[in-house]
Structure 1
Amino acid sequence: MDDQIRQAAVAAARHLLLLYKAEHPAWTDTRTPVDALVSWSGLQVETFHVKDYPEGTYGFLEPDEDLIWLCRTLPESLRRFTLAHELGHAVLAISTGTVA
Structure 2
Amino acid sequence: MGRLRGFAVGAVLSVVPASLSAQQTGDTQQGLAFARQACAACHAVERGQPSSPNAQAPPFGAIANTRGMTGMALYAFLRTSHPTMPNLILEADEIANVAAYILSLKGGQ
Greater Rg over alpha carbons, structure: 2
Which structure's relative contact order is higher, taking Cα pairs within 8 Å and 6+ residues apart?
Answer: 2
TM-score w.r.t. length of structure 1: 0.24
Query: Which structure: greater strand fraction?
Result: 1
